[in-house]
Amino acid sequence: APALVIVYAVVMSLFAIDWAMSLEPHWFSTLFPAWFFMGAFWGGIVATALGSVLLKRTEPYADEHIGAQQLHDLGKLSFGFSIFWAYLMYSQLLVIWYGNLPEETSFVFWRLWGDWRPLSITVGVLVFFIPFWGLIWVKSKTTIFTFTTFLTVSIIGFWFERYLLVQPSL
């Protein structure tokens, strides 16, 4: 499993460079591949948690294997990765913005201050603020309805995030 995670990190980092960074040929960021990988990894954790909740609801035998403790653990993972995603995003923006290099700041400008600003704010709210404030409480991680709600919000936010990475470049 550790070797598979390392291979996954390298492959997703290369995909980030090939799929997203290559759309803006003059833009580069050393933190972007790590941020892209962690977003994809966290999206996998959220999808696994949603699958676990769905399995718990539909299959009678799943109750003995997927209990409140397992949901709580998946919620803690989702909570922790939401913080880490925001940390990497802020670190990337900080380096780009304070570097004040025109070829780097244009990528950020068109997404945060251009026509795409409402979607950028929506991504920040859906991917970080709502999961952070919702999953900070134990009860929201162990109650199936609230846990599913916060996971669904995160998945929708991930879709908007990937859309925001690609569409303004096109």
Share of the chain above pLDDT 70, in %: 100
- pTM greater than 0.75: yes
What 8-state DSSP symbol labels residue 140? Answer: H
Per-residue pLDDT of 22-67, as tens digits, reads: 888 877 788 888 888 899 999 999 999 999 999 988 887 887 888 8
* Cβ-count burial 129-162 (b if 16+ within 10 Å, e if not): ebbbebbeeeebbbeeebbbebbebbbebbebbb
Per-residue pLDDT at 99: 79
